[in-house]
Amino acid sequence: MEDEQRGRDDIREQMTSSERRAMVLAGELEELRTQLETAERARKAAEAELHETSDRVSELAAANNSLVTSKRKLEIDIQAMQVYSEHRLMRLINSLFGVLQAVEVVKHLLQWNCLSFRLSLWHVKLSERKLA
């Protein structure tokens, strides 16, 4: 009988120990499930952030391409304006040279007219002296 009692006590102890171990394992299992849920939420958040970042990179790349295209167009426009300005400047310089040449011609004509007028005056004075 004592052997039976000891055997039952051993079985009870083993059962109690197994129940405690099962409770500890159940607690650890619950903790692992909680950690898994937390990791899953973190993974989903990271995927969402990655998706948002990818979208933002695409938007910025498109904006950059648009700016590069606009820059090229502006550079072409600036170059065309420079060519046009240089052309207009050359026309202005040529016009100024034409004006300077005209001024020289007028200057010579005025000198000639002044000389001619003096000669006429001298001729008139000479004629008056001869008549007087």
**62-112 tens-digit pLDDT:** 999 999 999 999 999 999 999 999 999 999 999 999 999 999 988 888 788
What one-character DSSP code corresponds to residue 132? -
Other beta carbons within 10 angstroms of residue 6's beta carbon come to 10
What is the value of pTM for the model shown?
0.52
State CA 62 to chain mean position distance: 11
SS3 readout for 41-108: HHHHHHHHHHHHHHHHHHHHHHHHHHHHHHHHHHHHHHHHHHHHHHHHHHHHHHHHHHHHHHHHHHHH
| Predicted local confidence at residue 130, as pLDDT | 74
Q: Residue 51 corresponds to which tokens in the numbers above?
A: 């998706």
Q: How far apart are the first and last CA of the chain?
A: 189
Q: How far is CA 85 from CA 78, 79, 103, in A?
A: 10, 10, 26
Least confident of 11-20, 40-49, 62-71: 11-20
pLDDT band for 48, please (50, 70, 90 cuts): very high
